[in-house]
Structures are given as C-alpha cells and as structure tokens.
Amino acid sequence: DGGGNLNLDSVPMGLPMSDPTAWTTAMNNLGMAPMGMTGQPLLPDFDPALGMMTGIPPINPMMPGLGIVPPPIPPDMPAVKEIIHCKSCTLFPPNPHLPPPATRERPPGCKTVFVGGLPENGTEQIIMEVFEQCGEVIAIRKSKKNFCHIRFAEEFMVDKALYLSGYRIRLGSSTDKKDTGRLHVDFAQARDDLYEWECKQRMLAREERHRRRLEEERFRPPSPPPVVHYSDHECSVVAEKLKDDTKFLEAIQTLLTWIERGEVNRRTANNFYSMIQSANSHVRRLVNEKAAHEKEMEEAKEKFKLALSGILVQFEQIVAVYHSASKQKAWDHFTKAQRKNISVWCKQAEEIRNIHNDELMGIRREEEMEMSDEEIEDPPEMKETEESALVSQVEALKEENDSLRWQLDAYRNEVELLKQEQGKASRDEDTTKEQQMKLLQQALQGMQKHLLKVQDEYKKREAELEKVREDKLKIEAALENLKEQEGTTSRVCACSQEKECPVEKTLSNSPVKSEREVLLVGIISTFLHVHPFGASIEYICSYLQRLDSKICTAEVEVLMTRLQNTFRQELSGVGASLEKRWKFCGFDGLKMT
C-alpha cells in the first residue's frame, strides 16, 4: 500500500499560501507532491517513486506497519518547517533548534493518532481541516479536555500526521488564549487497528502457506502414470512393445500389473501366454548383455592390474634408490637434515608400496577364487539348446557363483576374527600379567605391614613380661612380711569380723547395693537440690548421660523408687499437661528416720 499511495492518493491542498517556496518545503516534508492552486506540480523534478525530493535517500517500504517515515536528519542540520495556512487557522512551526517531540513505541498496524494541545475553541471541522491534508480521515473522537483521537484510512498517513507535532495553532487572527494551542501528535493504541493488523497478518500467513504448498508441489517428483485397463487393443500394443528392447521395461510393468489385477481368464489366457513367451525371449539378450559387461569388466581389471604392476615396479626402484642412499658409502656425505628427509621419504614410499602390493595380491586372490566359475562356464561357440535349459543353467551358475563368493567372504571374516582374537588374547595376557604383578605387590606390602605389627607386639610383650617379673618380686617380698606379722593380723581380723557383721547386715538391708548407685544417688540429689520444683525422669537422665552414656532411664527410676525417704514423685499439671516430677526430700527423710 505504502510508497505509491503516498503520492498518488494524497489530496492536493489548494489553500492560500504566502510564499510558494515555503509551501513547497512544507509539502515536501509531509512527503506529498507539491501542488499549486491550479493542481499543477510546483517542482517538475519531483520523483513520485521516491516519495520525497530528488536527492533525498529513498524510503524503505519494509518499515513496521508499512508506514513511510522521513529519513533521519543529521543532528547538526535543523529540520526546516514552514508556516502552514489553512482556511480557519494557521500553523506556526516550532523552534528548529529544539529536540524533536518524544513519541511512544509504535503499535502494530497503527492507524490512530492522539492529538493533544488543541485550542479550547477548536471544533471537529477545524481538526478535520488541519489533518485531512495527511490523508483520508475515517473518524474523529474529540474530548472536552482539549485532545482528540483521529483514525486514518492507511498507516502511512499516521507518519504524515506526526510531522505536525510541535506546531502552534492559532484560530483565525485571534490572540486569545482559548484560540491558541501547541499540538502534540503521538501514536495511539486502538483495538480496531490491532484487529485489522492481525487479520492482515493472518492473510499474509495464509498466502505464504499457499505459496510454500505450490513450491512443494512444483518440486515434488511426478507420480508414475496410471496403468491402462486390459483390452484387446491394449494387449496388442503391449505385445508389440515387448518385442522392442527400448520399450520392454514399460511393457513388462504393464503386463505384471494386469496379471496381479486378475485379468487372466479363459478368454485371454492365450494372449497372456504369448506376451509371457515374448518376455521370455529377452532372457538370452539379457544374458548376452551381462556377458558383454563382464568381459568389459575383465578387460578393465586387466588394464588396472597391468597399470598397478607398473606402478609397483617404479615404487620398488624408488625404494631401492632410498636404500642405496642409506648405505655408509653415500650416507656420510649428506647433512643431518638431508638424512632425516631421506629416511622419512623412504618410510612413506615403503608404506605406499606395501598398500599397492596388498591391493594387487587381493586382486590375484579374487581371480584364483573365480577360476572355478570360468572353468564351469560354457565356451562361446557352444551350440544353442532349448530356452528353458539355458535359463536353468544360468540360474544354477548364478547360485554357484553367489555361494562361492559367500564362502570367500566367510573365510575372510574368519581370518579377521582370528586376528582380532589373537590381538585380544595378547592384550588379555598383558592385562592378566599386570594384574598379577599388582596383586603380588599388594600382598608383599601387606606382609611387610603385618611383620611390623608383629614386631611392635613382641616389644610390648617383652615390656609386659618385665613388669610381671618386677611385680612377682614385690609380691614375694610382701608375702615374707605377711608371714612375720601373722600374730598381729589374726587379732585384727577377729576384731574386724565383730565390727563388720552389723555393717554387712545394714548393707544387705540398705536399698543402695553398690558404690556406683551411691555415686548416682549423690549426683541426682545435687541436681534435684538445684531444681527445687522438681524435674522429670527424662531431664535427669539426659543430665546423667552427659557424664556416662551407659546410664539408662529404667535403672535411674528403679533406684529413685527404692529411696523413698530421699526422693519423692509428684504429679503436676492438669489434663493433657499432666507430668510426673521427682523432688529431693532428703532433709525431711533424715528427720523421719
């Protein structure tokens, strides 16, 4: 829509103007062809294809929204805007040295603009008079607050309307504040514009899909032509084609399709038999063609073998030259770099010679394996036999040839497998040897560590034995002292027995049965003395387990239950918060006992 409509569909403005040059500049900045009062172009060199004056870079029609935007003006050159005279108002340009008015981001498919800064006395007729110069106006929605929205017919008209942003408008010749204003034109986002833009995008997408489909259909290979239905006329045509070598392939496909369709019946059986017989007559031709191609292939193999043998002879001579140059007689006269190059060249030549030699040997082995096929084949001067016998013989030869080739491939695969197995076996042996060496090293290290441990234990045992001997001497000396003091000890024992009897009785009757329990009672008493309101058995055990992790809750609870005069259990709380607490009552128990 863009470039052409900008000039061809624009409405020429036949308005009064004070200066034709200024009017031309203003029209040029708007992107319209400058027209005079009589409709004649003011500038004969105006190029409508460019949409601007000659010498200005052309407009890119691929801009967003297909809008035509004037090219950017260099910052050091101010935009030239002139006074625009209308019937009811006058537009004065802004200061050219001021920066251009700011605009928001352009919505897709924008055809609506926001116009602010209108005079209070401005009407829709005046707005239409000013902005219809930019293009066809579809609708104007004016507000009471000195702004309006204008919707144009095309997107490029919005760019022309934006050019008027910053102009000062004056109604008639009045200087009243209500008759003046500064225009601010900006993009507006409208649902109708967005909907039309989306419809246009969908239409373009449909056209693109249609174009791609046409391209795919154009590059798609054509389908094979349909096979005609059987008739006597078509049967005669196919029978003639079967006799022609150039049309045999097409005719045999048609014959195959007819047979698969079930066109053979008692009436047409003779016709089909004659066509099958014509197809069978081509067997000898195909066999002869195959023999000719095989003969050509053999000749090519011979030529290749002769050429390869000649190349090998030359390689042998080159390698002989390198070997003779490597002898002491000539080797001493070369420099170090020259010797290095000669040795590298010799290695390369030997590798290439070995590759070609292996290839030649492979060709000879294949020829030896195919000798049996050549011996079995019939000589070319053999008498003709019946066609059926010839077909069977060809099939038998083909099967035998295939079987021999399969055997050769099997032998080659077996050789390769053997080579791979030998390589794997050697690798496995190397890996097993390495593993055995590692195991032996680990075992030796373990034995050394064990020997060191045994030596340390031996030294410890010797030290313990010395200590035992010293203890034995001390015990012997103590026994001698005890024997001397037998008399005194007997008296002491008698007295001690008399005194210990009541103590043992009291110990046997006391609730504390060991020294460990005595220690626990003392610690628990100290802990509960610090907690006058009591503590739960779990709290007490958590404190005791910090001292000895082997203490269990059941042992502590049994001990405290036995000592009723020292510890007392009370219930505190109500309902679900009911809790058992232990308190220390040793002072009260001492008074009671």
Listed in sequence order, the DSSP H helices in 148-231 are: 156-162, 191-219
Question: In CATH, what class is 515-590?
Answer: mainly alpha
**Mean pLDDT, 10 residues at a time, over the chain (593 residues)?**
37 41 48 46 42 40 41 48 87 87 90 92 89 92 91 92 91 84 92 92 95 90 81 91 87 90 89 89 88 90 87 88 86 87 89 86 79 55 55 75 76 80 78 86 86 87 87 86 70 51 51 80 87 86 86 86 84 75 81 69
How far apart are the C-alpha atoms of 69 and 134, rounded to whole Å? 13
- Per-residue pLDDT tens over the stretch 52-94: 333 434 444 344 443 434 444 444 444 578 888 888 899 999 8
Assigned token pair, 46:
């105006």
Question: Shortest CA distance to 131 belongs to which of 113, 110, 144?
Answer: 113
The whole-number pLDDT of residue 148 equals 95
The whole-number pLDDT of residue 477 equals 86
Classify 549 in phi/psi space as left (phi over 0), alpha (psi -120 to 50) or beta: alpha
The whole-number pLDDT of residue 329 equals 81
- Answering whether pTM is above 0.85, one says no
Question: Shortest CA distance to 535 belongs to which of 576, 571, 583?
Answer: 583
Assigned token pair, 398:
């083909």
- Per-residue pLDDT tens over the stretch 389-430: 666 777 778 777 777 877 787 778 778 878 888 877 777 778
The whole-number pLDDT of residue 593 equals 64
The whole-number pLDDT of residue 301 equals 85
Question: In CATH, what class is 84-201?
Answer: alpha beta
Same fold, 84-201 and 515-590: no
The whole-number pLDDT of residue 205 equals 95
| H or E element, residue 496 | helix 486-509
Instruction: Name the residue ranges covered by the structural domains of the chain.
Output: 84-201, 305-367, 515-590
**Is the separation of the CB atoms in 146 and 120 below 8 Å?**
yes
The whole-number pLDDT of residue 70 equals 45
